[in-house]
Amino acid sequence: MRQWLIATILGGAGAVAGCMGTEDITSTSAEERGPRFITIGADAIATAQDALAARDPGATLTPIAVKNGIALLEYDAQDFVALSELMHERHHRCSGFIRHGSFDDGQDALAAPERPVAALTYSIDNPLTVNVLMSELRSSAILSMIEDLSAFKNRFYRSTTGAQASDFIATRWRALAGNRTDVTVEQVTHPDFTQKSVIMTIRGTTLPNEIVVLGAHMDSIAAGGSSSTAPGADDDASGIATLTEVVHAMMVKGYKPQRTVQIMGYAAEEVGLVGSQLIVDDYKAKGKNVVGVMQLDMTNFHNSDRDIWLMTDFTNPGQNTFVESLIDRYTGATHGRDSCGYGCSDHASWHEAGIPASMPFETRFDDFNPEIHTPGDTLEVSDNNTDHAVKFARLGAAFAGELAKGTVDLSKELFREDFETAGWTNTGLWHRATSSRCGPPGFSSPTHAMYFGSDTTCNFDTGARVSGTMTSPTITGITAASTLRFRFYRDVQKTEISSNDVVKVSVIENGNRTVIFSRTSKTASQPRWLMSDPVSLAAFAGKSIQLRFEFDSITQNNNQFTGWMIDDVVVTR
């Protein structure tokens, strides 16, 4: 049984001491005071008492009722920031409590039993849409968005910069939406604070009244409240940036879901899941039918033996199993299960309302980023790259593509190859690899890629010089606007002495060979999946061509590197 408490706070005003610092919290509490109603894990009652006692040692919490390990408390708003920080310090939960709009709402939450959810019939049968969306995801763009968001002094829910961050996200999402009439972006005003939640809506084509939600929170927090330095690069600029890149892929590829898809950037998560709770309350009042929710709260710190961890508490088991299947089918990531406690992120607001929600997390919960909620939560903690976040972007694209279903616009594509079937002519070590362990993952989109190397040794060392080519079928219809893009994973020797380990892409036309892309050992490799820059094919307009990918080690030495993998080759019209 979960325990529920209704507790009365008795105590006066005063400065808050402890992890947030007295002078900054005093200025913040002047903006928001008075009793509010929250639910919190019963294991954190003593924490709530201590946060309150830091301001008023005489204050007490009086239990009235218990149920299922959750407590309903009346709590002064001026103590929320101190409570949030103490919850993080002791329980490793971001927020760790849920604010309710009224006592009646709190009682409703108290009275509501575990509601069985009428689960959808989950299916994974829309690979073309998912693969096309995934082919457009860019690690560099996720990195840039995290940099932009963490450049704000803080994104605290009551600060000027917190409000500006909301405007920045809304402006970015509107720019991505462009002129699409089926896409809207709105900012949701909340009472008592200036930061607004942001909601992008992509209207469904055949099931517009069924809604699929992908969310992350925009606010950040650190000691000092409104005046703090809280870059929040991981918590949770990484989640917002990951979703923004999913939005980019959806817009560039003309994604039209069957079910309505909503991308949400929640305000004020860190102080009681406030933005998400208010949105959920509004949706309940309006009878909106949300059929599934995914929360991306922190996606870019890799510190566990597996990549993606599904939180199993206060989430939906059936949908979690579906998400694990998506991870296996589409991302190439490893995964595990863990728990994070009550109210650890915005998915809890939806779960409490009986809506299927899932929370994939960047690490095992006890391995979380030690710099969150401090000025040290910067990209440096993740080695200034977003390799880990890309896995979550793939999962977000898969979640939308398989739960909301729908199609993408392929009219601008002349040729696409994801190597899920054979069809190219290969020489040397080039072969079609199935879920190769040598990447990892050994593909950009599931579950195959072309690989110059050995799946057994994960290198191209045969004791001799090695070379080979892979050549496409004939491609017709090239125009002056046509471009080539492809995904590649390149891991070779780095030396300034000689040009070894040469990789090239050539166009074969009427027996002539023209090199349009090349790298040698003098160009440092980056052993992760990258998207090439667009390569113009204008010189071949009106002609029939073949594409040829070439690898030549030049020597028999220093060939103990992974080699070259190619996936998602796209030629546009």
pTM assigned to the model? 0.79
Give residue-wise pLDDT tens across range 462-473.
999 999 999 999
Shared domain check, 545 and 469: yes
Of 136, 270, 377, 552, catalytic: 270
Of 88, 190, 217, 448, catalytic: 217
Shared domain check, 72 and 92: yes
The residues that bridge with 183 in the sheet, in sequence order, are 202
pLDDT at site 492: 95
269 flagged as catalytic: yes
Is the residue at 119 inside a domain?
no
pLDDT at site 133: 92
Is the residue at 391 inside a domain?
yes
Shared domain check, 166 and 187: yes
Beta strand pairing call for 259-266 and 207-217: parallel
Section 229-251 average pLDDT: 97
Is the residue at 290 inside a domain?
yes
235 flagged as catalytic: yes
Is the residue at 530 inside a domain?
yes
Tokens of 205: 């084509």
Shared domain check, 467 and 320: no
What's the structural domain count of the chain? 3
Of 297, 371, 418, 552, catalytic: 297
Say which CATH number the domain at 537 has: 2.60.120.200
Residue 14 pLDDT class (50, 70, 90 cuts): very low
Average pLDDT, the chain: 87
Lowest-confidence region among 145-149, 173-177, 298-302, 523-527:
523-527
Phi and psi for 60 in degrees, rounded to 5? -135, 155
Domain boundary among 379, 403, 427: 403
Is the residue at 104 inside a domain?
yes
Shared domain check, 265 and 239: yes
Exposure string over 325-362, b if 16+ CB within 10 A, otherwise e:
ebbbebbbbbbeebebbbbbbbbbbbbbbbbbbbbbbb
Shared domain check, 463 and 500: yes
Q: Which domain holds residue 92?
A: 6-111
Q: Is the pLDDT of residue 455 over 80?
A: yes
Section 193-220 average pLDDT: 97
Of 136, 269, 307, 491, catalytic: 269
Closest CA to 128 of 379, 336, 398, 348: 398
Give residue-wise pLDDT tens across range 179-201.
999 999 999 999 889 999 999 99
Shared domain check, 470 and 378: no
373 flagged as catalytic: yes
Instruction: Output the CA torsion sign for 435, 441, 447, 448.
Output: negative
Whole-angstrom distance between the N-terminal and C-terminal Cα of the chain? 61
Shared domain check, 372 and 258: yes
Count of H-run helices and E-run strands, the chain = 12, 25
Closest CA to 493 of 467, 531, 527, 444: 527
Shared domain check, 51 and 146: no
Say which CATH number the domain at 262 has: 3.40.630.10
Contacts of 103 (CB under 8 A, 6+ apart): 37, 74
Of 136, 235, 245, 418, catalytic: 235
Shared domain check, 436 and 371: no
| CA gap 363, 302 in Å, rounded | 6
351 flagged as catalytic: no
